[in-house]
Chain A
Amino acid sequence: MSASSIFVILVSAIFVNNFVLSRFLGICPFLGVSRKVETSFGMGMAVTFVMTMASIITFLAQRFILESLGIEYMQTIVFILVIASLVQLVEMVIQKTSPTLYQSLGVYLPLITTNCAVLGLTILNIQNQYNLIETIFHAIGAAIGFTLAIVLFAAIRERLELADLPLEFKGFPIALITAGLMSLAFMGFIGLV
């Protein structure tokens, strides 16, 4: 495994197969937590942390529990269990160690439990037959891609707040149109890798 293959995985996860804009995973926080750049960045950081941790643990769970017992078909349930427990644990640790960070992440941290981007990532890791290091970089790439998409989207939405729009388009309708246009733009990266 070379450095170039890791680079390819990163670029692929950030741009070409962006989790939000081209795989359409994690749409809920993408629309829900994108009012302000600040909070969307916080959400991005929380997702980054959980994605990386979840990828490592699910990789180990897959290798040492599911495959050794021959029950790979239980993948979805086991992974959800892992992610949910992990988020709970992370929440408790953050609450104890850094109340400030806990405050700024707020309700978004438990929301990651049900974020399909995390589950999608862990399952894709297995499907693509990545090894542990590739898995970690794929997770980081996916998380950066998610953060990039949500921060860009939040910045656009902040400006849309001030734009002179017809009443019917204000709020969610224009946000959905914007998300569609952003997705189209990211489709331009297809063929890069």
Chain B
Amino acid sequence: MNIETIMFPVIGLGGLGLVFGAGLALASQKFKVDTDPRVATIRELLPGANCGGCGVPGCDSFAKAVAEGKAPADGCPVADGATNEEIAKVLGVEIAGNVKNVAKVICRGGADECKEKFVYNGIQDCVAANMISGGSKSCHYGCLGLGSCYTACQFDAIKINDNNLAEIIPEKCTACNKCIIVCPKNVIKMVPYKQEVVITCNSNDPGKEVRQKCSIGCIACKICVKACPEDAIEFENNLAFINYDKCTNCYVCVEKCPTKAIEGVFAKSKQQTG
């Protein structure tokens, strides 16, 4: 074998590589642009998924946007709390709010409480059931309990309980919104994780109709609105809802509600203190 067959490609390609390498090295010196050193630091802290979930294309752009103050320090949906805090430390800011939300099924009218319109024997899926005159439940707004959200949840955070209702385990919920999107009844809402008192009724029917259909629904009596010491309960479309910014979890409304349509989870407060 001729030595030239090896030598020529090696010299040719090696030479080209050297020339280009040297050229680029020179160019990088000459065209050096001073960048914000924080960008590189933030970029390294980020998970690097390049998912675009933050609304900016790629982690590099997001790091830049954060350093320029165009994006919030906790804007990365993949990063966990610790990472967000470290990013905030780089910037020298506090993460504003940092409220963790969880999804919550705001209906407790299960098989025992809510009457059925007919017997549904179709596909065991809420979206399919909802197409047949809004499902078998007499209440048009309630949870059908056929588990579309259960299938959609990637984190095993939803179970269908014995009362034929979907139930979300707050500890496992990552607030990814998948169940909220899939639910045909729009009966899953975002609630702050620390919130103990939640109105668990979604019905916009007038009180009389609610009373006929479901034993645990909001009958639009406005007792809670009057009872609330913080004026945190508002009222619209025959349904009370809590302004979570004002609510102090005092449980007055939970006690006053005649149909027990307001849920108070004492366990949560215990978890936080203890």
Contact = CB atoms under 8 A, between A and B. Distances in A.
Contact of A107 (B13, B27, B60): B60
A78 interface: yes
B13 A77 contact: yes
Nearest to B28: A92
Contacts of A96: 31-33
Contact of B61 (A81, A82, A99, A106): A106
B81 interface: no
B8 interface: yes
B46 to A, nearest CB: 15
Interface string B8-30: 11011100110010011001100
Interface string A142-185: 00000000000000000000000000000000000000000000
B20 A81 contact: yes
A65 B20 CA distance: 14
Main secondary structure of the interface of A (DSSP, over half): helix
B57 interface: yes
B75 interface: no
A97 B23 CA distance: 18
A1 interface: no
A69 B13 CA distance: 11
B55 interface: no
Contacts of A97: 31
B57 A88 contact: no
A74 B9 contact: yes
Contacts of A77: 13
Contact of B58 (A81, A88, A99, A107): A107
B16 A81 contact: yes
B13 A74 contact: yes
**Size class of the B contact interface (CB-based, 8 Å):** 10 to 19
A85 interface: yes
B17 A81 contact: yes
B16 A92 contact: no
Interface residues of A, number: 22
B56 to A, nearest CB: 10
A89 B26 CA distance: 10
A71 interface: yes
A88 B8 CA distance: 26
A85 B60 contact: no
Interface string A9-48: 0000000000000000000000000000000000000000
A77 B180 CA distance: 51
Contacts of A88: 24
A85 B23 contact: yes
Contacts of A92: 24, 27-28, 31
A124 interface: no
A38 B149 CA distance: 38
Interface of A: 61, 65-66, 69-71, 74, 77-78, 81-82, 85, 88-89, 92-93, 95-97, 99, 106-107
Interface of B: 8-9, 11-13, 16-17, 20, 23-24, 27-28, 31-33, 57-58, 60-61
28 contacts: A61-B16, A65-B16, A66-B12, A69-B11, A71-B8, A71-B9, A71-B12, A74-B9, A74-B12, A74-B13, A77-B13, A78-B12, A78-B16, A81-B13, A81-B16, A81-B17, A82-B16, A85-B20, A85-B23, A85-B24, A89-B27, A93-B31, A95-B31, A95-B33, A99-B33, A106-B57, A107-B58, A107-B61
